[in-house]
C-alpha cells in the first residue's frame, strides 16, 4: 500500500523473507555442486551449473505454484503469499542462468547465432524422444521474464488488475512447458527412474492442491441464498462471525465480506483493489479491514483506505433481525459511507430476572 512507487518497499519481513530465499538458494547450489563434483568428477563446472540451476528453478516453481492453493485451503500459509513475487523473480533469475549457460554450452560454438541455432539445430517436431525440448524451455523462460518484469505494483496499476492477472495466469502454461521440457529433455537420456518419480510427486501435489482449492472456492461461489425480503438476503447468524473478522457470501456476481467489529456489522466488496485479494479472509487491524495478501487497508464503514491512500471498495447495507444477518447485494458506489448494523447486546439472565421482579412489584 503506497502513495508512490519505489523499487521495493523494504520492511523487516521482506528482508527476512529475501535473506531466507537467498540463503536457501546458495545452500542448495553449494550442496548440489559439491556432491556432484565428488560423485561425478568428470563433469565440467558449466554442466554442474546448468544442472543445479535447473533443479533449483523447478523446485522453486513448485513451491511458488503451491502457495496460492495452500492459502485458499489454510490461512496459516498466508505469510508465504506476502512476498511470493520475490520468490518468482528469484526463480526467473535462476532459470535464466540455466537457460543462458545451456545456450552457451550447446549453441555458441558453431558459426550460427546461438538463438537461431536453438530453433534450427533440431527440427524433429514429429519425434517425441527427439523433440526440440530446448525451445519449450525457452518459451517458458520468456513467460517467466514477462511475469518478472511486470511483477511490480507499477505494472499492476498501469495494466489494471484484470490484464495483470490474466498475464500472470500464463504461469500455468509456462509450468506445462517446463514439464514437457524436462520430460522430453533430460528424462529421454537419463535412465535413473528417480527423476521421473520426483517430477511425478511434484506435479501430483500441485494438481491435488489446485483442484482441492479450486473446488472449495467454486463451492463457496455456488451457495444459494433463497430467502429475500425487500432486497435483503439472509446470509447467517450474528454469532457465526467472529469479532474483527468476516464471513464471505457470494450473492450475485461477486463475494461480499460482512465484518463484525466494535459492536457492528459492515459489508464491503470482498475484492481488494491492489491484487484482488479476498478482503473477507483478512481481519480488522487498527480499526481497518486489512487484506490478508499484502496488507492493504479499508475503513469498514465506507470502504475507503485511510488517508493519504486512495483505494476504495463498494459498501452494502446490512441488517440484523433477531440474530439473523441480512445483506442487500446492491452495491453502493465505492467509498460510500454506510451506518452498518448495530448488534444488540444480549443482557445477562440475572439482569432480566431483576427487571422482571421490579415490574411485578
Partner 1 sequence: MDKRQKSQQMIRSLRKRHLQIWSALAVLIPVSIVSAVIARPKPITTILLQPEEVAPLPVVIKTVERENYVVRLRGSNETPTQLEWINRNILTFPTAVIYKTQATFSPRHSDLIGRIEARGTYRFALKPDQGSEYHFVLYDFIHQQKIDSINF
Q: From the CB of 281, what's the least distance to partner 1, in Å? A: 13
Q: Does 210 bind partner 1 (CB under 8 A)?
A: yes
**Among 49, 61, 148, 271, contact with partner 1 (rule: CB under 8 A):** 271
Run of H or E including 244:
none
Burial class (CB in 10 A: 0-12, 13-18, 19+), 3: exposed
**Among 67, 70, 250, 279, contact with partner 1 (rule: CB under 8 A):** 250
**Among 9, 30, 110, 214, contact with partner 1 (rule: CB under 8 A):** 214
Q: Does 179 bind partner 1 (CB under 8 A)?
A: yes
Are β-strands 254-261 and 264-269 bridged in parallel, bridged antiparallel, or unpaired? antiparallel
**Among 128, 345, 349, 357, contact with partner 1 (rule: CB under 8 A):** 128
Q: Does 201 bind partner 1 (CB under 8 A)?
A: no
Using the rule CB under 8 A, give the single segment among 49-57, 74-82, 164-172, 236-244 that binds partner 1. 164-172
**Among 175, 259, 296, 298, contact with partner 1 (rule: CB under 8 A):** 175
Q: Comparing C-alpha atoms, which of 247, 252, 202, 256 is closest to residue 228?
A: 252
CB-nearer residue toward partner 1: 104 or 211: 211
Phi and psi angles of residue 262, each rounded to the nearest 5 degrees, phi first = 50, 45
Q: Does 63 bind partner 1 (CB under 8 A)?
A: no
Interior angle at CA 95, CA 91 and CA 100, nearest 5: 150
Using the rule CB under 8 A, give the single segment among 11-19, 109-117, 199-207, 295-303 that binds partner 1. 199-207
Q: Does 261 bind partner 1 (CB under 8 A)?
A: no
Q: From the CB of 313, what's the least distance to partner 1, in Å? A: 10
Contact by Cβ (8 Å): 332, 315:
yes
Site for partner 1 in 275-304 (CB under 8 A): 276
**Among 52, 117, 134, 269, contact with partner 1 (rule: CB under 8 A):** 269
Q: Does 199 bind partner 1 (CB under 8 A)?
A: yes
Q: From the CB of 166, what's the least distance to partner 1, in Å? A: 8
| Alpha carbon distances (Å) from 252 to 2, 220, 221, 248, 318 | 32, 12, 9, 12, 16
Give the rounded distance of the alpha carbon of 125 from its chain centre: 35
Cα–Cα distance between 247 and 257 in angstroms, integer? 6
Contacts of 273 (CB under 8 A, 6+ apart): 161, 296, 311, 312, 313
Q: Comparing C-alpha atoms, which of 283, 339, 266, 274 is closest to residue 310?
A: 274
Phi and psi angles of residue 236, each rounded to the nearest 5 degrees, phi first = -170, -175
Q: Does 187 bind partner 1 (CB under 8 A)?
A: yes
Secondary structure letter of residue 304 according to DSSP: B
**Among 16, 26, 104, 211, contact with partner 1 (rule: CB under 8 A):** 211
Residues forming the site for partner 1 (CB under 8 A):
128-129, 161-162, 165, 169, 172, 175-176, 179-180, 183-184, 187-188, 191, 196, 199-200, 203, 207, 210-211, 214-215, 217-218, 221, 250, 253-255, 269, 271, 276, 314, 331, 334
Amino acid at each position: 500500500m503506497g502513495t508512490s512507487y519505489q523499487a521495493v518497499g523494504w520492511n523487516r519481513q521482506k528482508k527476512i523473507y529475501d535473506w531466507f530465499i537467498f540463503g536457501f538458494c546458495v545452500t542448495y547450489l553449494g550442496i548440489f555442486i559439491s556432491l556432484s563434483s565428488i560423485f561425478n568428477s568428470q563433469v565440467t563446472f558449466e554442466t554442474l551449473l546448468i544442472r543445479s540451476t535447473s533443479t533449483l528453478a523447478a523446485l522453486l516453481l513448485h513451491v511458488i505454484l503451491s502457495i496460492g492453493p495452500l492459502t485458499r485451503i489454510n490461512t496459516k500459509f498466508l505469510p508465504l503469499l506476502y512476498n511470493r513475487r520475490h520468490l518468482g523473480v528469484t526463480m526467473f533469475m535462476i532459470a535464466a542462468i540455466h537457460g543462458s549457460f545451456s545456450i552457451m554450452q550447446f549453441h555458441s560454438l558453431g558459426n550460427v547465432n546461438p538463438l537461431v541455432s536453438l530453433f534450427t539445430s533440431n527440427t524433429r517436431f514429429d519425434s517425441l524422444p527427439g523433440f526440440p525440448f530446448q525451445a519449450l524451455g525457452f518459451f517458458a523462460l520468456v513467460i517467466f521474464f514477462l511475469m518478472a518484469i511486470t511483477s511490480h505494483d507499477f505494472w499492476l496499476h498501469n495494466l489494471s488488475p484484470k490484464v495483470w492477472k490474466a498475464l500472470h495466469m500464463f504461469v500455468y502454461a509456462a509450468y506445462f512447458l517446463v514439464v514437457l521440457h524436462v520430460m522430453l529433455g533430460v528424462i529421454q537420456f537419463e535412465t535413473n527412474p528417480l527423476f521421473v518419480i520426483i517430477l511425478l510427486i511434484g506435479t501430483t501435489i500441485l494438481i491435488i492442491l489446485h483442484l482441492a482449492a479450486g473446488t472449495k472456492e467454486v463451492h463457496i461461489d455456488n451457495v444459494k441464498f433463497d430467502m429475500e425480503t425487500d432486497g435483503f438476503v439472509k446470509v447467517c447468524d450474528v454469532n457465526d462471525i467472529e469479532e474483527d473478522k468476516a464471513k464471505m457470501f457470494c450473492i450475485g456476481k461477486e463475494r461480499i465480506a460482512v465484518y463484525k467489529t466494535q459492536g457492528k456489522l459492515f459489508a464491503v466488496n470482498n475484492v481488494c483493489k491492489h491484487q484482488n485479494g479476498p478482503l473477507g479472509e483478512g481481519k480488522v487491524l487498527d480499526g481497518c479491514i486489512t487484506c490478508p495478501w499484502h496488507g492493504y487497508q479499508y475503513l469498514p464503514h465506507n470502504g475507503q483506505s485511510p488517508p493519504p491512500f486512495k483505494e476504495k471498495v463498494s459498501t452494502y447495507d446490512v441488517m440484523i433481525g433477531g440474530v439473523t444477518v441480512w445483506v442487500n447485494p446492491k452495491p453502493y458506489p465505492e467509498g460510500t459511507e454506510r451506518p452498518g448494523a448495530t448488534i444488540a447486546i444480549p443482557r445477562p439472565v440475572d439482569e432480566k430476572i431483576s427487571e422482571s421482579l421490579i415490574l411485578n412489584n
